[in-house]
């Protein structure tokens, strides 16, 4: 009985990978909307937006555009790889100098996103994605 439940639950792994990607991308792209659009709030402490051309603005563009692409599951592997690097830079440039431990330097989200996007760069988007749809269409197209 337990074995059958485990097998049945395990068969959901690809779909849950898609759900994880969708939820994480939805949370992530909000960092970009905060920096660029002051939505749903602006950047602390004064609800401002990033100044055009600054490193924070570039990060906001990557987070907004990359987050939407990951939400859709479009070009997931290269986009996730790029965003993993962005989060590594964010951690080591902005958080790590404030202290050794991520919980102290407020870098926990950057670390988690870094490794989450690194995982998706290797694992792909999952079955509920534009990437999967494109692959199915390419495989099903007549030669």
pLDDT at 21 over 80: yes
Percent of the chain with pLDDT over 70: 97
CB contact at 8 A, 20 and 105 = no
Query: Can you give the pLDDT at residue 2?
Result: 72
Predicted TM-score (pTM) of this structure: 0.91
Pinpoint the alpha helices (H) of the chain: 2-10, 13-37, 55-72, 76-90, 102-105, 108-123, 130-140
pLDDT at 142 over 90: no
d(CA 73, CA 121) in angstroms, rounded, equals: 11
């Amino acid at each position: 009985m337990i074995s059958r439940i485990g097998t049945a639950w395990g068969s959901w792994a690809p779909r849950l990978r898609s759900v994880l990607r969708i939820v994480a991308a939805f949370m992530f792209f909000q960092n970009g909307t905060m920096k660029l659009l002051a939505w749903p709030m602006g950047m602390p402490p004064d609800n401002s937006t990033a100044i055009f051309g600054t490193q924070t603005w570039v990060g906001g563009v990557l987070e907004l555009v990359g987050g939407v692409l990951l939400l859709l599951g479009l070009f997931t592997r290269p986009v996730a790889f790029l965003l993993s690097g962005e989060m590594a830079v964010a951690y080591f440039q902005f958080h790590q100098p404030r202290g050794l431990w991520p919980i102290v330097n407020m870098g926990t989200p950057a670390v988690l996103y870094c490794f989450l996007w690194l995982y998706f760069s290797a694992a792909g988007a999952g079955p509920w994605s534009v990437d999967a749809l494109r692959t199915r269409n390419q495989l099903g197209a007549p030669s």
